[in-house]
């Protein structure tokens, strides 16, 4: 038989359960606090990453050719001494992304146009063999259609067409521009179309009451009538 414990065999200091429970509560509270801080920091990091991802500009590979932006303008060109009854319209435009074709669509009949069109390096102004188009269309007709290549990156393209009469006579010509991009992948051809872009009324003409009145109102879309340095 095991001997019974005497009074002297119990711990000399009684266990204070209240103190131990209090210590446990403090430890748990500290753990919760640290865990909360960690979760808040993690949430902030995730939010920052998401915001950075949304604010970063898309890479070139992510850009849709249908969203190509082009800007340009037209000028009153030099008169042709061999055809004094026709007015020359010079057009210049540039696009943000590569294109493989474009159409210039005036609101006056085109009587003649240049069949070979070239682009240039915007820095050196040198004509580039990689930016070249062959153009065709009816004469007279209501459009000039060109196929070829242009690397985009705001490389300017300059050419001209003629119309009957004075270019500055009201109502003045105001052509629209449509651009295309075609690609082939796994034997399947895909074509993209962007536009129309308003090239505006001819520059180099006297001011008139119709100044600023273009075919695509600037207050309904981003203005695409812009000064683009022509090929010299």
Digitized pLDDT (tens) for each residue of the chain, 232 residues in all: 445 444 445 455 555 555 554 554 545 455 455 545 444 444 444 443 433 333 334 444 447 888 999 999 999 998 888 888 889 999 999 999 999 999 999 999 999 999 999 998 888 888 988 899 999 999 899 999 999 999 888 999 999 999 999 999 999 999 999 999 998 888 888 899 999 999 999 999 998 888 777 888 765 445 555 555 544 4
Cα–Cα nearest to 162, from 85, 218, 217: 85
Instruction: Give pLDDT, residue 95.
Output: 94
Q: How far apart are CA 153 and CA 94, in angstroms?
A: 8
Paired with 86 in beta bridges are 164
Q: What is the pTM of this model?
A: 0.66
49, 203 contact by CB (below 8 A): no
Residues contacting 66, CB < 8 A, separation 6+: 192, 193, 194
Instruction: Give pLDDT, residue 55.
Output: 36
Assign a CATH topology to domain 66-198. Answer: Immunoglobulin-like (2.60.40)
Cα–Cα nearest to 119, from 196, 199, 230: 230
Domain boundaries, the chain: 17-55, 66-198
């Amino acid at each position: 038989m095991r001997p019974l414990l005497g009074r002297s065999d119990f711990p000399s200091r009684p266990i204070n359960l209240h103190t131990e429970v209090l210590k446990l509560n403090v430890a748990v509270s500290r753990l919760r606090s640290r865990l909360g801080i960690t979760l808040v920091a993690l949430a902030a990091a995730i939010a920052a990453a998401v915001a950075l991802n949304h604010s970063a500009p898309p890479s070139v590979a992510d850009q849709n050719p249908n969203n190509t932006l082009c800007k340009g303008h037209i000028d009153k060109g030099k008169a042709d001494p061999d055809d004094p009854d026709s007015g020359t319209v010079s057009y210049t435009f540039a696009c943000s992304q590569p294109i493989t074709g474009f159409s210039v669509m005036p609101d006056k009949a085109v009587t003649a146009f240049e069949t070979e069109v070239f682009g240039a390096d915007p820095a050196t102004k040198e004509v580039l063999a990689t930016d070249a188009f062959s153009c065709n269309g009816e004469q007279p007709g209501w459009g000039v259609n060109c196929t070829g290549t242009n690397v985009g990156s705001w490389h300017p393209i300059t050419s001209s067409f003629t119309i009957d009469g004075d270019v500055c006579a009201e109502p003045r010509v105001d052509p629209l521009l449509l651009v295309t991009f075609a690609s082939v992948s796994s034997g399947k051809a895909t074509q993209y179309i962007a536009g129309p872009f308003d090239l505006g009324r001819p520059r180099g003409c006297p001011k008139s009451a119709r100044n600023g009145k273009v075919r695509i109102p600037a207050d309904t879309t981003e203005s695409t009538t812009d000064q683009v340095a022509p090929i010299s």
